[in-house]
Amino acid sequence: MTCEADITFAGAIFAGHALNIDGSYGGVFFSDVRFESVDTHIGPLICAERAVFAHAQFRSPAAIEISAPYVLCHNSQWSSTATLRLRYASVDFTNASFEYPVSVSASAEPFIAAFNRPMGEANVSGDPNVQLRSLRGVDASHLMLTDIDLSDCTFAGAFHLDQLRMHGNCSFASVPKRLRLLPVPRHWTARRTLAEEHHWRAHQPGAVADGWQELTNPEDIIPRLGAHPGPQHIAILYRELRKSLEDTKNEPGAADFYYGEMEMRRLSHRWHEAERWLLQAYWLLSGYGLRASRALCWLVVAMTITVLLMMGFGLPSEPPKQTATSVLPSRGGQIVYEIDKDDPKNPTESRFTTRRFEKALRMTLDSVVFRSSGQDLTTAGNYIEMVSRVSEPVLLALGALAIRSRVKR
């Protein structure tokens, strides 16, 4: 059936052996409808405006196929298994109740009507991808998403996000690609982020310069409710979604959520707290153990500084010479020799030579792998070597950890 007007079933009860509703309409409204049919099949439905299932109750297994700009399922109740295949849709599940497994997936191809003919979608415009806009108030333990755009999805207020299952290409928002040069240079490393982080950062000082902005579509039919969650709450969202990906053995995919979790933990503490300084150092040195290039760059910087300090202050001008002294007994007897070394001394000139550079580099490389160079050093050189034998292996380990987190399967 094809109709440009809206079709409404508000308050209806569908019971019996089978239910089949399909066709093309302006909009379809199933508000406060009860589906009790043994075999419920809705679709393919082509809606120019919206398909509304607000407060609907699905008490039997259902299969739904819809192409519509908006699919509103807020406050719906799913008391049986269901499969939703959607196109062009912006979906809202605010306060929906899922008691059994429910699958929501994006259909890559147009739906097939009778006689194996594709359904015409001329009255539906926009991107055929499917966006999930809200899981606020939802128990996500029975929800499975496949190929869904989650870049502007509100997760705050959802339960059991660690049991949410995401398959296929479920995309998230990314960080701004803008490079800020003033007043402090800043470049955001590419990673997947939650909409809640965008919303929170968009209200912080300097957000406009950094490129953070609200992701909320101004055409939302259901407005966002409540204040934006703070970094403590956002860290919990990242942690639960990270566990969801780790449980499906998607370790590299979970790495971005670990980064987001640590970033929110860092920003939730004030500068006078010790944990803020610890997390700040962890971020600066290796990006929370996830940025190998950062850790290796710091390693190169540390090695360069060690080489320069060794050439300038650590290596003596020449190897200390051994001296032997003895005392001749006046009445004869055994002669005892005392052998000692001169104290290493810094050169007064020609400190930066090729020969000294080679010795300093060899000693620095030994420090990276936690080995002692065994060379005679000045007092300053001994302290420089001790510091390098602690700091440089740590930076090397952080770089190795970051590489491992990206290739782990």
pLDDT tens digits, 96-147: 999 999 999 999 888 887 666 667 777 777 788 999 999 999 999 999 999 9
* One-letter amino acid of 46: I
pLDDT for residue 342 is more than 80: no
pLDDT for residue 262 is more than 50: yes
pLDDT for residue 327 is more than 80: no
pTM of the predicted model, to two decimals? 0.81
> Among the listed ranges 12-16, 32-36, 207-211, 296-300, which one has the minimum average pLDDT value?
207-211
* One-letter amino acid of 197: E
Where do the domains of the chain lie? 6-171, 179-268, 293-329+336-407
pLDDT for residue 224 is more than 70: no
pLDDT for residue 222 is more than 50: no
**In this structure, are residues 76 and 33 in contact, taking their beta carbons and an 8 Å threshold?**
no
**In this structure, are residues 25 and 51 in contact, taking their beta carbons and an 8 Å threshold?**
no
Highest mean pLDDT among 19-33, 177-191, 295-309: 295-309
Q: What is the pLDDT of residues 20-67, one digit of tens each?
A: 776 777 888 989 999 887 788 887 888 888 899 999 999 989 999 999
Residue that has been written with the tokens 């019996």 in this structure? 16
Quote the distance between the C-alpha of residue 322 and its chain's center: 60
* One-letter amino acid of 137: G
Mean pLDDT, the chain, whole residue set: 82
**In this structure, are residues 314 and 378 in contact, taking their beta carbons and an 8 Å threshold?**
yes
* 304's tokens: 């360069």
pLDDT for residue 187 is more than 80: no
DSSP letter at 243 equals: H
* Secondary element (H or E) of residue 326: strand 322-327
Highest mean pLDDT among 42-51, 282-291, 324-333, 355-364: 282-291
The confidence band for 211, taking pLDDT boundaries of 50, 70 and 90, is: confident
The confidence band for 225, taking pLDDT boundaries of 50, 70 and 90, is: very low
Highest mean pLDDT among 31-45, 116-130, 259-273, 395-409: 259-273
How large is the average pLDDT for residues 152-160?
91
Quote the distance between the C-alpha of residue 391 and its chain's center: 27
Instruction: Answer with the residue of higher pLDDT: 77 or 361.
Output: 77
Q: How far is CA 208 from CA 90, 179, 211, 234, 292, in A?
A: 27, 12, 5, 20, 29
How much is the pLDDT for 23? 75
**Interatomic CA distance for residues 409 and 406, integer angstroms:** 9
pLDDT for residue 335 is more than 90: no
The confidence band for 218, taking pLDDT boundaries of 50, 70 and 90, is: very low
- What percentage of the chain has pLDDT greater than the value 90? 34
How much is the pLDDT for 4? 63
**In this structure, are residues 58 and 77 in contact, taking their beta carbons and an 8 Å threshold?**
yes
**Interatomic CA distance for residues 230 and 63, integer angstroms:** 38
Three-class SS state of 230: coil
How much is the pLDDT for 221? 45
Beta strands 70-72 and 90-92, pairing class: parallel
> Among the listed ranges 28-32, 76-80, 221-225, which one has the minimum average pLDDT value?
221-225
**In this structure, are residues 196 and 221 in contact, taking their beta carbons and an 8 Å threshold?**
no
Instruction: Answer with the residue of higher pLDDT: 113 or 191.
Output: 191
* One-letter amino acid of 343: D
**Interatomic CA distance for residues 124 and 126, integer angstroms:** 7
**In this structure, are residues 257 and 235 in contact, taking their beta carbons and an 8 Å threshold?**
no
